[in-house]
Structure 1
Amino acid sequence: MAPRIDVYDPSVYERGGIPFAQLTWLRENSPVHWHPDPEGPGFWAVTRYADVVAVSRAPEVFSSQRRSALLNELTPEGLATNQMIMLSQDPPLHTRTRSLVNRGFTPRMIARLEDRIRAICHEMVDRVIEQGGADFVRDLAAPLPLHVICELMGAPDADRDDIFTWSNQAIGADDPEYAGADGASALFGYAMELAARHQSEPLDGIMGALLEETAEGRSLTQAEFGMFVVLLAVAGNETTRNAASGGMLAFARHPAQWRRLLADRSLLETMPDEIVRWVTPVNAFRRTATRDTEIGGHPIAANDKVIVFYAAANRDPEAFDDPDVFDVSRPPGTHVGFGGGGPHFCLGSHLARLELRVLFETLLDRTPDIALSAEPRRLRSSFVNGIKEMPVTFTPGPRRG
């Protein structure tokens, strides 16, 4: 018997997380499914791994730019603004922007951050280790990517709380706790201040490089820089935070996997990708058909709204052995937690893997008996698989010397 299908309503996700029972039924029975949309005529829900990958790798047919990559409908003004973000651009515009920012996120550049990331992780643990308990999200998952993003941006520590608040508001428009405030505009304004200051006090590192001309005479305009900072602050902060929180929840639900890590630290190399597959921090993105086409043999009309559900694809038994098993030794590289390939593959994937590896390595060393002490409180969002609060306990220990 078919379940009641509603994989768009954010309250569904707030109550129980990603609705895997519905997504599984869709993937097995209606993998390209016409779904009602309270803001428009409806959309095609795409849930099969092969179809999600095919849509992701054909930007000329399935556009991010025509109606943005976000799930909800935008006003003409909102759409014009959103199309300035690389996330909602198609080639060749996306190709130009991405080529400018790629240079700061190569594996070699990211590897230079490992010592700093490890220091941040120890500082976070130091602040809670004597208490024997913490809110995993606020105290351990959120500060790490926030610190790293602020350092990449050249933002002073004093601005971290503001950037944290603005990124929450930008991603949580469907959550009453964050709705009503325009965090994206606040982040853009802040980025404009950084760009203006760069003229007299040059920013260091990646952000400064983005405002300087390359050997070919190319650079980001101030507006493009501002929109990239919005994307970096939201995507680089929220996704890693929710991957870490969701990963800790997975270990709480599957303690044998935590014991495997305690016994064999080499599994820290494969663990980050399995966390991202299992959690799928970004549940779905939207595309718009540029012409009459098909997905998996199913006809799609020009301008139809298409939503690809990465969470469903990441549990597809056609793509993964035992997909409903959390296995930290699973070979990495085939999941779509960083996108389904193509031009929009996650720019920060190397950074996310590094942050997750070092964070959980630090927790294994210093809080080996960490455990959930209450059920998590989830974000009201069908876009992001977010956790807002998750209390944990552990044996109290000493701060570092």
Structure 2
Amino acid sequence: MTGTNGQKIFVETPIPPVDEVELADIDLSNPFLYRQGRWKSYYERVRNEAPVHYQPNSPFGPFWSVTRHADIIAVDKNHEDFSAEPFIIIGQPPRFMDVAMFIAMDPPKHDAQRAAVQGVVAPKNLREMEALIRSRVQEVLDELPIGEPFNWVDLVSIELTARMLATLLDFPYDQRRKLVEWSDLATAMEQANGGPSDNDEIFRGFVDAARGLSAHWHDKTARLAAGEEPGFDLITMLQSNEDTKDLIDRPMEFLGNLILLIVGGNDTTRNSMSGGVLALNQFPEQFEKLKANPDLIPNMVSEVIRWQTPLAYMRRVAKKDTVLNGQFIRKGDKVVMWYASGNRDERVFERPDELIIDRKNARNHISFGFGVHRCMGNRLAELQLRILWEELLPRFEDIEVVGEPEYVQSNFVRGISKLMVRLTPKQDA
């Protein structure tokens, strides 16, 4: 890992074609696989030749890669044999980031903490949120520049995500971009996932997050004590649940779970918003199909989430000696479920590298995970993406990508950092 002199672990070098690498030497944790667009061929080879693949010498230590759709589901559903503790990322965060979050807990503690916030994405609440989400999407789209290039990631994907996060947390609206900043810091740790991080910057950011979120918690407490009607936001839910009402008194757990909820609300939606525009540019016949039949939007949303796979993997640790697809895995071994590979598994998805918006089994994607850790906000993410496209199609004849996309440096977040586009409005819009 990083030496005492601060030397970086990851220095970018060209990734060779996969057929020039020995199978045993393939390291799917290299963050530049994604930046350099080599990931598909590397996943494909491992899926076909060693679907449960051991890498003993990665910068993150030894780990098993699980790359086929069926094997990933088998691991994800089996929390008795595969533990989410202590981290769901491949490496180990800096010590100051050793926070507790329910996604990295096993039942029963996981279940109690998740139950405290599950209600915010209950069907009734989503129905009530729909009008608010739509109005915010309309505000953002109506302010976009027409006919000149702009960064879609910043003006649309990040802005819409920030507005939604502020709503979910009842966070000060004028400070909404803080939530995105904190989320980005949490997912850019070099020791944890190969991101281009500076530990001093991350530490300062997390001090800022701890202060800001604690102040917000105390402000909510004071407002409720003064007689304000309880809202249906995440903070109010945590404060009104027996298992989490004293979360503020457990600082690392408080910070961990709030950051988890922010990251969960940020990455999937934001990177699928950008990934959808990119995919429809790469497969223009699908964009024409969508414009001809907007009823395909819900299925297209599932297909975009499969095609993009906003989080590439989750990590588990074997609780006991076990066998997976013929490979003997020892107790204590790290096991990485590569969702981004499973979503391109030819055994499940025909022509998996293509975006096919009317794909019959698009909802069979595994981007949200399975079992007790299945993404809590999956329906909210789908709702936001559906509304975005319902509002985009009547306004714009074309959303043209006018430059090569830029990708984040990470083996965890399959994120697009820059996507320059130009909008052509509909003549009757």
Residue aligning to 1:13: 34
Instruction: State which of 117, 129, 133 in structure 2 corresponds to 1:113.
Output: 129
Residue aligning to 1:72: 91
Matches within 5 A, 1:89-168: 89-130=105-146, 132-168=148-184
Would you say 1:312 and 2:341 are equivalent positions? yes
Residue aligning to 2:293: 264
Structure 1 residue 41: Cα displacement: 3.8
TM-score, scaled to structure 1: 0.91
For residues 272-302 of structure 1, the C-alpha deviation after alignment (integer angstroms, 9 at most, x for no partner) is: 1111111000001111111101111211000
Q: Distance in 2 between matches of 1:73 and 1:177?
A: 14
Residue aligning to 1:333: 363
Letter in 2 for 1:197: D
Letter in 2 for 1:245: S
Would you say 1:169 and 2:185 are equivalent positions? yes
Q: Distance in 2 between matches of 1:186 and 1:235?
A: 19
Q: Distance in 1 between matches of 2:244 and 2:316?
A: 28
Q: Distance in 1 between matches of 2:196 and 2:254?
A: 30
Per the alignment, do residues 128 and 263 of structure 1 end up closer, same or farther by CA in structure 2, a change over 3 Å counting? same
Structure 1: where are the runs of 5+ without partners?
A: none
Bigger mean CA offset, 131-140 vs 280-289: 131-140
Would you say 1:88 and 2:109 are equivalent positions? no
Structure 1 residue 88: Cα displacement: 0.6
Q: Distance in 1 between matches of 2:425 and 2:69?
A: 44
Letter in 1 for 2:284: P
Would you say 1:201 and 2:223 are equivalent positions? yes
Aligned length: 392
Letter in 2 for 1:296: N
Structure 1 residue 74: Cα displacement: 3.7
Per the alignment, do residues 380 and 19 of structure 1 end up closer, same or farther by CA in structure 2, a change over 3 Å counting? same
Bigger mean CA offset, 306-315 vs 153-162: 153-162
TM-score, scaled to structure 2: 0.86
Aligned-partner SS, 1:325: coil
Residue aligning to 2:279: 250
Matches within 5 A, 1:365-384: 365-384=394-413
Is the Cα contact below 8 Å between 1:172 and 1:179 reproduced in 2?
A: no
> Runs (4+) of structure 1 moved beyond 6 Å?
none
Per the alignment, do residues 127 and 177 of structure 1 end up closer, same or farther by CA in structure 2, a change over 3 Å counting? farther
Q: Distance in 1 between matches of 2:175 and 2:424?
A: 32
Q: Distance in 1 between matches of 2:67 and 2:207?
A: 33
Is the Cα contact below 8 Å between 1:372 and 1:392 reproduced in 2?
A: yes
Residue aligning to 1:181: 201
Per the alignment, do residues 188 and 230 of structure 1 end up closer, same or farther by CA in structure 2, a change over 3 Å counting? farther
Q: Distance in 1 between matches of 2:303 and 2:124?
A: 23
For residues 248-275 of structure 1, the C-alpha deviation after alignment (integer angstroms, 9 at most, x for no partner) is: 1111100111111101011012111111
Aligned-partner SS, 1:394: strand
Aligned-partner SS, 1:199: helix
Residue aligning to 1:42: 62
Q: Distance in 2 between matches of 1:41 and 1:378?
A: 25
Structure 2: where are the runs of 5+ without partners?
A: 1-17, 225-229
Structure 1 residue 40: Cα displacement: 4.7
Letter in 2 for 1:355: Q
Is the Cα contact below 8 Å between 1:376 and 1:389 reproduced in 2?
A: yes
Residue aligning to 1:191: 213
For residues 41-84 of structure 1, the C-alpha deviation after alignment (integer angstroms, 9 at most, x for no partner) is: 4110110111100110111211111x3111112456644x2xx2
Aligned-partner SS, 1:9: coil
Would you say 1:213 and 2:240 are equivalent positions? yes
Structure 1 residue 176: Cα displacement: 3.3
Is the Cα contact below 8 Å between 1:129 and 1:396 reproduced in 2?
A: no
Aligned-partner SS, 1:201: helix
For residues 172-223 of structure 1, the C-alpha deviation after alignment (integer angstroms, 9 at most, x for no partner) is: 2244377642244533332211111122113632224323435xx4444224
Is the Cα contact below 8 Å between 2:60 and 2:90 reproduced in 1?
A: no
For residues 71-111 of structure 1, the C-alpha deviation after alignment (integer angstroms, 9 at most, x for no partner) is: 112456644x2xx2111111111111111111111222112
Bigger mean CA offset, 175-184 vs 18-27: 175-184
Aligned-partner SS, 1:91: coil
Instruction: State which of 55, 58, 65 in structure 1 corresponds to 2:75.
Output: 55
Is the Cα contact below 8 Å between 2:54 and 2:64 reproduced in 1?
A: yes
Aligned-partner SS, 2:381: helix
Higher RCO (CA 8 Å, separation ≥ 6 residues): 1
Is the Cα contact below 8 Å between 2:297 and 2:390 reproduced in 1?
A: yes
For residues 299-353 of structure 1, the C-alpha deviation after alignment (integer angstroms, 9 at most, x for no partner) is: 10000011110011011122223322211112343110111x1011000100100
Q: Distance in 2 between matches of 1:355 and 1:188?
A: 28
Per the alignment, do residues 208 and 386 of structure 1 end up closer, same or farther by CA in structure 2, a change over 3 Å counting? closer
